[in-house]
């Protein structure tokens, strides 16, 4: 044993490291336990002693070690894990803010990870979060790969809320937006105006994309129409590829007269293509394609209301999505007795004409 200091103190007064209750106790001339008591409200401690301790805390710049604290039985970590497929996406950023707002109100902090649509990465994140003893998880599930790691049993009983997307085979609390209805309404509006060649710009591999394509199809079927496969373009992830896809559509022998776009990246790309075409054919009197194309799209964006096309937007509040998901989680965490079976919430959307 033998660090064997001459004046051997049990604790060799470490300057560099963080001060502990012990250090504060020394400084205040009391026992660690008294410090602990003061820190948790000061019940049963003389006022004078409380002040002495408070002063010591101040002098030493003491911060109670939450990690050590959460080690005690019964104590919770105060942490919630959030994994998002792309933090930089303004939509999810707003969702994240909603989550943070509610978590904060419930005295929790959020650990945030970016899964980049990669199920393996997501799995690692979740495992790490559980290792840090998060009390719950909010997950925007990645579209690619297996999702077995989200099974409740695999999570060691940590409750999870799926946001924005559901996952096949995983039964958990889920908050979605009404993708099908939004897409259906928007498409129906285009068809009602008489358009019969309506293009679809979006995804098919992502959950929301599938649902929005379904709404697009359903709207057609309600009028006993069948969407032309040639007009369905999927897989564009960014504005650039969306613009190219739209340009291709405009170049068709029988181009669309309207387009429904399943997300704002595609909407912006489509409008760019339309504007570019309009400029190109400006003086020619050709009128070839770009003019008076009607657009409807999911999700708003900065300039939606002064876009130079006739535009309708399927609106919904990402912040609300985050708040609802968080509320659902804390309902399980803090609420009393909960129903065991998972709940699915589908948030409504509204169609807004911007012309």
Partner DNA sequence: CTGTTAGCGCGTTCAG
Partner DNA sequence: CTGAACGCGCTAACAG
Choose the binding region for DNA from 64-72, 180-188, 303-311, 340-348 (rule: CB under 7 A). Answer: 64-72
Mask of contacts with DNA, 75-114, x by CB under 7 A?
Answer: x---------------------------------------
Q: How far is the CB of 60 from DNA (least distance, A)?
A: 11
Name every residue whose Cβ is closer than 8 Å to that of residue 78 and which is 6 or more positions away in sequence: 66, 70, 107, 108, 109, 135
18 is an interface residue for DNA by CB under 7 A: yes
The single residue among 268, 293, 311, 327 that binds its own copies, judged by CB under 8 A, is 268
Backbone Cα Rg of the chain: 28
For 325: left if phi > 0, alpha if psi spans -120 to 50, otherwise beta; the answer is alpha
As measured in angstroms, the least distance from the Cβ of 32 to DNA is: 4
Q: How far is 333 from 159, CA to CA, in rounded Å?
A: 8
Residue pair 158/327 in contact by the 8 Å Cβ criterion = no
Nearer Cβ to its own copies (179/299): 299
Calculate ∠ Cα 239-240-246, nearest 5°: 85
Give residues 20-59 in contact with its own copies (rule: CB under 8 A): none
* CA–CA dist 224, 139 (Å, integer): 38
Q: Which residue has the tokens 């999700």?
A: 299
Instruction: Select from its own copies, DNA, none the partner in contact with residue 226, using the beta carbon and a kind-dependent cut-off of 5 to 8 Å.
Output: none
Which of the listed partners (DNA, its own copies, none) does 340 bind, with a CB threshold of 5 to 8 Å by partner kind?
A: none
Q: Which of 9, 13, 41, 72 binds DNA (CB under 7 A)?
A: 72
Q: Which of 25, 113, 167, 295 binds its own copies (CB under 8 A)?
A: 113
CA 268, chain centre distance (Å):
22
Q: Which of 49, 54, 111, 345 binds its own copies (CB under 8 A)?
A: 111
List phi, psi (to 5°) of 242. Answer: -65, -40
Rule CB under 8 A: say whether 76 interacts with its own copies. Answer: no
Q: Which is nearer to its own copies, 180 or 274 (CB)?
A: 274
DSSP H or E run through 90: helix 90-105
CB 134 within 8 A of CB 161: no
From 96-104, 167-175, 188-196, 285-293, give the range in contact with its own copies by CB under 8 A: 96-104
How many helices and strands in the chain, by DSSP H and E?
Answer: 11, 12
Beta bridge partners of 79: 109
Q: Which is nearer to its own copies, 18 or 196 (CB)?
A: 18
3-state DSSP assignment of residue 276: helix
Contact 318, 98 (CB under 8 A): yes
Q: Where do contacts with its own copies occur on this chain (CB under 8 A)?
A: 16-19, 61, 63-68, 70-71, 73, 77, 86-90, 92-94, 96-97, 100-101, 104, 109-114, 127-133, 153-154, 156-157, 264, 268, 271-272, 275, 301-303, 305-308, 319
Q: Where do contacts with DNA occur on this chain (CB under 7 A)?
A: 1-2, 11, 17-18, 20-22, 30-34, 36-37, 39-40, 44-46, 49, 64-65, 68-69, 71-75
């Amino acid at each position: 044993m033998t660090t064997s200091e001459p004046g051997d103190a049990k604790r060799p007064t470490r300057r560099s490291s963080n001060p502990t209750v012990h250090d504060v106790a020394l400084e205040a001339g009391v026992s660690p336990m008294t410090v602990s008591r003061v820190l948790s409200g000061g019940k049963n401690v003389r006022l004078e002693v409380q002040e002495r301790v408070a002063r010591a805390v101040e002098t030493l710049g003491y911060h109670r070690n939450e990690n050590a604290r959460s080690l005690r039985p019964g104590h919770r970590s105060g942490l919630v894990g959030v994994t998002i497929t792309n933090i930089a996406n303004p939509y999810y950023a707003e969702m994240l803010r909603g989550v943070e707002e509610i978590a904060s109100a419930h005295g929790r902090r959020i650990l945030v990870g970016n899964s980049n649509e990669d199920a393996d990465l997501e799995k690692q994140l979740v495992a790490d979060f559980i290792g840090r003893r998060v009390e719950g998880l909010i997950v925007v599930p990645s579209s690619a790969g297996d999702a077995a790691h989200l099974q409740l049993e695999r999570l060691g009983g940590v409750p999870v809320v799926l946001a924005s997307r559901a996952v096949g085979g995983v039964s958990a609390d889920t908050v979605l937006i009404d993708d099908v209805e939004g897409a259906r309404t928007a498409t129906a509006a285009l068809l009602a105006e008489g358009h019969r060649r309506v293009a679809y710009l979006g995804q098919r591999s992502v959950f929301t994309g599938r649902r929005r394509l379904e709404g697009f199809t359903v709207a057609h079927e309600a009028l006993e129409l069948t969407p032309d496969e040639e007009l369905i373009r999927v897989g564009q992830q960014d504005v650039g590829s969306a613009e190219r896809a739209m340009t291709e559509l405009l170049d068709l022998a029988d181009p669309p007269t309207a387009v429904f776009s399943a997300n704002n990246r595609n909407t912006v790309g489509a409008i760019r293509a339309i504007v570019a075409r309009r400029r190109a054919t400006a003086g020619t009197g050709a009128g070839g394609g770009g003019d008076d194309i009607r657009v409807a799209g999911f999700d708003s964006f900065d300039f939606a209301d002064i876009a130079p096309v006739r535009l309708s937007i399927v609106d919904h509040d990402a912040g609300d999505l985050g708040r609802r998901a968080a509320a659902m989680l804390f309902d399980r965490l803090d609420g009393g007795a909960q129903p065991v079976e998972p709940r699915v919430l589908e948030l409504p959307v509204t169609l807004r004409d911007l012309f």
